[in-house]
Amino acid sequence: MTPPNDQHAPEMHVTSERFSENARHALDDKVLQGGLFIFAKGFTALREIGISQVPEFGDMRDRARDVKNHVLENLGDYLKQFEERVIANGGRVHWARNASEANEIIGRLCAEVNAKTVVKSKSMVTEELELNPHLEKQGIEVFESDLGEYIIQLRKEKPFHIVGPALHLTKEQVSDTFYEAHQRYGRTEKVTEKEALVREARIVLRERFKQADVGITGANFLVAETGSIALVTNEGNADLSATLPKHHIAVTGIEKIVPTLEDLGLFLRLLPRSALGLDTANYLSLYTGPKRDSDPDGPETFDIVLVDNGRSDMLGSEFQDMLRCIRCGACLNGCPVFTSVGGQAYGSVYSGPMGAVWTPALAGITHAANLPNASTFCGKCEEVCPVRIPLPNLMRHWREREFEKHYTPTGQRWGMGAWRWIAGKPALYRLASSMGGRVLRAMARKGWVKKLPGFAGGWTEMRDLKAPEGGSFLEQYEKGRRS
Amino acid sequence: MAKVGLFVTCIVNTMRPEIGFASLKLLEQAGFEAEVPRDQTCCGQPNMNGGDKAGAKDLALRLAKLYAPYDYVVVPSGSCAGTIRTHYPDFFDESDAEGERVRALAAKTWELTSFLTDVAGMKEVEARFDGALAYHDSCAGLRELKVKQQPRTLLKSVEGLELKDLPDAEVCCGFGGLFCVKYPDVSGEMVRKKLADIEGTEARAVAMGDAGCMLNIEGALARKGSDIKVWHVAEVLAGLAK
Ligand code: SF4
């Protein structure tokens, strides 16, 4: 992919090198584990019920895959069409090759209107860009308005999940966080009940909406034929962010295009069902340009920042299929690794199976090698993905890149080389497997090996190994045994 | 009569030879005389999943040559059969002549229980197993080869066997080849959940179609001191499970 010295190379900060350590912490965290258990069972069940009501769900997935593939094959044309429509509607389009450029553009747009306060609705792309610290450095106060994002912003955490950023927290943790953060607004009484917590966040955030000079949103979809952006939320906060402030900036990735409103309809049926088993999201809004003279209200300016940050490198590569992703989170919810360790262990804003493919593309395989490796390839993610992304294959392609570039750990690399060599020499293979069995029998006590040396020690950290009885199959077969 | 070549796989060859003999017995019951080419080695799955594409390709070509004389290749493992059947063809471009032989191998390769039911038309086996048994769906067989009903159909015909529904039977046990040694903590948590589900069924044994998952689950049960037995589905169907 892009050479590291390229100043337009994709940028994203990750701490994925510490995956194993983070995972261990997550596994020891009793509170988190309790939440993960409910999350894993609940979300899977919701999705299953949701899709069982739509017999044509499989066909819809095929169509969605085909629409996205068509868009990706003609991405330049659709982006051009989209830009033309946005301009015709009175809006502006800005192109950002990477995170620095995107942040610089958004910072400039805010400076142009002298913004002191920005209110945001949930946007994973701005998390990817680390936009908030950038704006804060410029002296701008940034408020997240999605409840989950707001909570993790106060706690200075990274999102737990692309759809539910604060799903890992308990109401007690949220209560503590609010108690501490809201004192400055004169709210000195500690609130502990769920509804009261939501009410309090609503009161605090309402004021921020009124104050805000600029509203920043993401965009779930970009409609090429109309130049509209589509926002799907369950809290309605995106609509307030987009309409109350005088200036609306939408930030999203270049891959979010769909050709027509009719295509959009298909994705709007797939997304909430795959995410939460819902037939529709609570709020769906289309924004097409700034306030017109005849409109009673709405933003005066409408800017769209389209971010590449590694996406065009994926086009035409073995990772192109990943660009179909609609960020529904179904692959995370179904993933046995994600539901064991949670999102934070991945050290990237994109976690779970989609993050294991997406993160190395943005942060480089050297920094993110753990993520495509920490998978059993069980295939559940591919089974649930609404746009049929072959996630395990794509993770495997990252392992291939890693191997080609000699990043694979030396021991493993050497082991695979030796294995291939032995497997090419059947007599040696037979000997090695017979010997292997004998060594294990010698190491065993009452038939079980309790501790293995070196790399294999990972096995006996968690489990015993039953030593084989008798000779290898090929050995016994050669001696004439047949049943 | 059609010629069947049994590919026993590395784990069965080294760790659990009985599964290979159980497979031979079942193939015979189904009316086939199966052979085991003595020069079989590895299908290359560890190389494929470790990113060593060239190594995996070499081993694919090797296996294709070795099994060229057979009409069917039967494998008592969903993940090795899946490697051959669903992944091998992707190693070679359509136009690649070298790939022709490998594509032919892929097309005639079957996971054991699907071969017995879908190809050989077997509906029941001659075997006995006393007590309750849970069945775990090993991932690759389930998702790459759609092995789901086949083993259950045959298990239900085993005399004395009460097939228990295992909750989350389709959730991975945490084996994942190198995954379980590279990420022991995560793998350990996954198998812990699997054991809890198995124990919940109160079955005295659990069966599955992949020896890798077996080593993982039986090893974790042993570490816990549990006396729940772990069998390969072939061992139960051949009447070798006690
Ligand atoms: S990869 Fe598929 S399942 Fe995962 S978030 Fe993207 S669209 Fe959803």
Q: How many CB atoms lie within 10 A of CB B92?
A: 18
pLDDT-derived band at B218 (thresholds 50, 70, 90) equals very high
Confirm whether pTM is higher than 0.90. yes
Per-window interface: A 349-388 vs B, CB < 8 A: 373-380, 382-383
Ligand 1, atom 6: nearest CA belongs to which residue? A325
pLDDT-derived band at B242 (thresholds 50, 70, 90) equals confident
- What value does the mean pLDDT take over residues B175-193? 96
- List, in order of start, the domains of chain A with CATH numbers: 74-309 (3.40.50.10420), 426-478 (no CATH)
State which ligand 1 atom lies nearest to the alpha carbon of A391. Answer: 1
Pocket test for ligand 1, best of A328, A346, A349, A359 (most atoms within 8 A of CB): A328
The pLDDT of residue A2: 46
Q: Choose among A375, A396, A398: nearest Cβ to B179.
A: A375
Question: What phi and psi, each to the nearest 5 degrees, are found at residue A334?
Answer: -90, -10
* Average pLDDT value for chain B: 97
CA atoms within 13 A on the CB side of B168: 24
Q: How far is A14 from chain B (nearest CA, A)?
A: 19
DSSP H or E segment with residue A449? strand A448-449
The answer to whether the Cβ–Cβ distance between B223 and A462 falls below 8 Å is: yes
d(CA B214, CA B77): 11
* 8 A C-beta contact, residue A174 and residue A166: yes
State which ligand 1 atom lies nearest to the alpha carbon of A381. Answer: 3
The answer to whether the Cβ–Cβ distance between A420 and B143 falls below 8 Å is: no
Nearest CA in chain B to A436: B14
Write the ipTM: 0.97
Cβ within 8 Å of residue A75, ≥6 positions away:
A254, A255, A257, A315
A155 alpha carbon – ligand 1 mean position (Å): 27
- List, in order of start, the domains of chain B with CATH numbers: 3-118 (no CATH), 123-237 (3.40.50.11810)
Sheet holding A257-258, edge to edge: A257-258, A221-223, A228-233, A283-287
Pocket, ligand 1, Cβ cutoff 6 A: A 274, 325-331, 354, 384-387, 389
Nearest CA in chain A to B13: A473
Q: Is A216 helix (H, G, I), strand (E, B) or coil?
A: strand
Helix and strand tally (H, E) in chain A? 24, 12
Q: Is A250 helix (H, G, I), strand (E, B) or coil?
A: strand
Alpha-helical (H) ranges within A315-425 are: 330-334, 338-341, 352-363, 365-368, 370-373, 380-384, 391-404, 410-423
d(CA B135, CA B138): 9
Residues of chain A with pLDDT under 70: 1-6
The answer to whether the Cβ–Cβ distance between A473 and B218 falls below 8 Å is: no
